[in-house]
Amino acid sequence: MKRWYTTGLFPLLLLTLIILGAAAGCSSTTTTSPTPGGAGGGALVINDSIDSVRIESISPRGDGITDLSVTLISTQNVGDEVNPVADKVGQKIDVWTDEDVSVLKVGNTVNGRIQYAGDAVIGITLRLYDLALK
């Protein structure tokens, strides 16, 4: 009586395990951020806008980040990218920036860019950058 591993069953079993292991290793799960303003589960969309805002409040966090409440005066699209604040002109919105805001005061008008930032863990927020006092 031959042993089962010499009859070809062992190599077939080994080959099956190798193939299944390789297939399992090749699969991946991608965690994506919710699409802002849409149904959750999609990737964060490529977005940007060129904006003019009036500063309503300035709140430094102490970690190099400053939270700002601003009124959106105007916004322009950037190419084919989604404008995250297209429907917010005239409204007060909350944004954050990692830029130096030491020269800014409440009431100042600032030109800059706004984009969605973040992920499903920290949340989706609006980032104000490329600031220039008007």
- The average confidence (pLDDT) of the chain is 80
Q: How confident is the model at residue 60 (pLDDT cuts 50, 70, 90)?
A: very high
| 33 contacts 119 by C-beta, under 8 angstroms | yes
Contacts of residue 23, defined as CB under 8 A and 6 or more positions apart, other chains included, come to none
Give the pTM.
0.67
Confidence at residue 68, expressed as pLDDT on a 0 to 100 scale: 96
The highest-confidence range among 6-20, 24-38, 57-71, by mean pLDDT, is: 57-71
Determine the average pLDDT of the residues in 44-53: 90
Q: What is the CATH number of domain 49-133?
A: 2.40.50.140
Nearest to 51 by CA among 12, 14, 95, 1: 95
Distance CA 82, CA 62 (A): 31
Confidence at residue 40, expressed as pLDDT on a 0 to 100 scale: 46
Q: Is the per-residue pLDDT at 46 higher than 50?
A: yes
What is the DSSP code (8-state) at residue 99? S
What is the DSSP code (8-state) at residue 104? -
